Structure formats: C-alpha cells, structure tokens
Amino acid sequence: GEDVEQSLFLSVREGDSSVINCTYTDSSSTYLYWYKQEPGAGLQLLTYIFSNMDMKQDQRLTVLLNKKDKHLSLRIADTQTGDSAIYFCAESKPGGYNKLIFGAGTRLAVHP
C-alpha cells in the first residue's frame, strides 16, 4: 500500500478553518512536511515538523503530529480563497538523507 495517505478533496467556506489529514506508515520517519501546489505552479514548502514534536504553529498554520497513530494534520485558520490549492503531505525516510515520500495530495476548495 501507499506509504503516505491523504483524503483527495476538501471543501470549506471562506473564513472557516480547514483541517487536512494525512497518515503515514514508517514510524522511523524523521521529518514530516506539508507542501502547497497552486495551479500551474511548483511545490512550495509550507511547514514541517520534526518527529519528536507534537505541534508546530506558524501564523495561520498549525501542524499536529500523533506519532502513536502515525497521523499528521494541517489546520489552516481563517481560510481564504488564496488558500485554494493542492496540499501534499510528505515524510522523510531515515537512512542518512531526507528522501521524501509524498502522499497523493488533498485538493482544498474554498468557496464564498
């Protein structure tokens, strides 16, 4: 099966909070990442969390990591239309380097 799994689609109303979820299988992953891909654009790193942390907050973004359940989430507060994009969860495999394994991406649609 896939190493990293995400739901494919999320629709939220402008101003509400969005929560994008991700599960991974490798308990030895060192870092977990959230990337954003806007239409026709490359991937942009939003944030990342080290595997020994539970939470990381950066302005409107909150990352929660449940290492026991191998569950990662990204919460976007006060979601705006500019947040509409595909959000990819990724884990880095151990082994001396950060080989990134990505999920299939969650398409976030923000509507008025």
- Cα distance between residue 57 and residue 81, in whole Å: 21
Contacts of another protein in 6-45 (CB under 8 A)? 31, 35, 41-45
Tokens at residue 93, please? 């495999």
Least Å from the CB of residue 99 to another protein: 5
Site size for another protein, by CB under 8 A?
A: 20
Contacts of another protein in 48-77 (CB under 8 A)? 48
Least Å from the CB of residue 29 to another protein: 13
Q: Select 18 or 103, whichever has its Cβ closest to another protein.
A: 103
Least Å from the CB of residue 100 to another protein: 6
Q: Which residues bind another protein (CB under 8 A)?
A: 31, 35, 41-45, 48, 88, 90, 96-105
